Structure 1
């Protein structure tokens, strides 16, 4: 199964560690520092067309998306329902 991040970009759901709201990252000093380091180290890929609303953390990458974290989480939930809870993807 794959999660659509917007603008035709997709990632395997089995790789997802966390889906987060970028606005909330800006409210936490630790989260801001994490995102700054991830960006400096080249671990951030921006799929948001310069308008990020959310991020998806995998084991190796942080993906920025123009789609809200709520909508992305809802999509993952729906994918699991459709596939009977099987995360193989």
Structure 2
């Protein structure tokens, strides 16, 4: 199964560690620090050109986790994961 994050970006569902709402989680100092470190390390992939609504944390084997920024809401991503949908 795969999760479609938008703009043709698809990740294996088994690699998804978590789906997070940016509005809710970015109020945390720890989350902001994590995202800043990931961006400096080149581990952030912006799936959309607009303002992101969510981020998906994925692992790819033994490599460092990758953060995908998506304009899709967490509820849309979760629905896609549950339905295995490519809408």
Aligned length, in residue pairs: 79
User: Over residues 45-88 of structure 1, what are the superposed CA-to-partner deviations in whole Å (9 max), with x where a residue is unaligned?
Assistant: 00021321111001220001110111101111122xxxxxxxxx
User: What secondary structure, in the 3-state scheme, does the structure 1 residue paired with 2:50 have?
Assistant: coil
Which position in structure 1 is the counterpart of 2:62? none
TM-score (normalised: structure 1)? 0.83
Give the 5 Å matches for 1:43-58: 43-58=43-58
TM-score (normalised: structure 2)? 0.84
Is 1:62 matched with 2:61? no
- Show structure 2 runs of 5+ residues with no match: 60-64
- Show structure 1 runs of 5+ residues with no match: 80-89
The CA RMSD measured in Å over matched residues stands at 1.0
Structure of larger gyration radius:
1
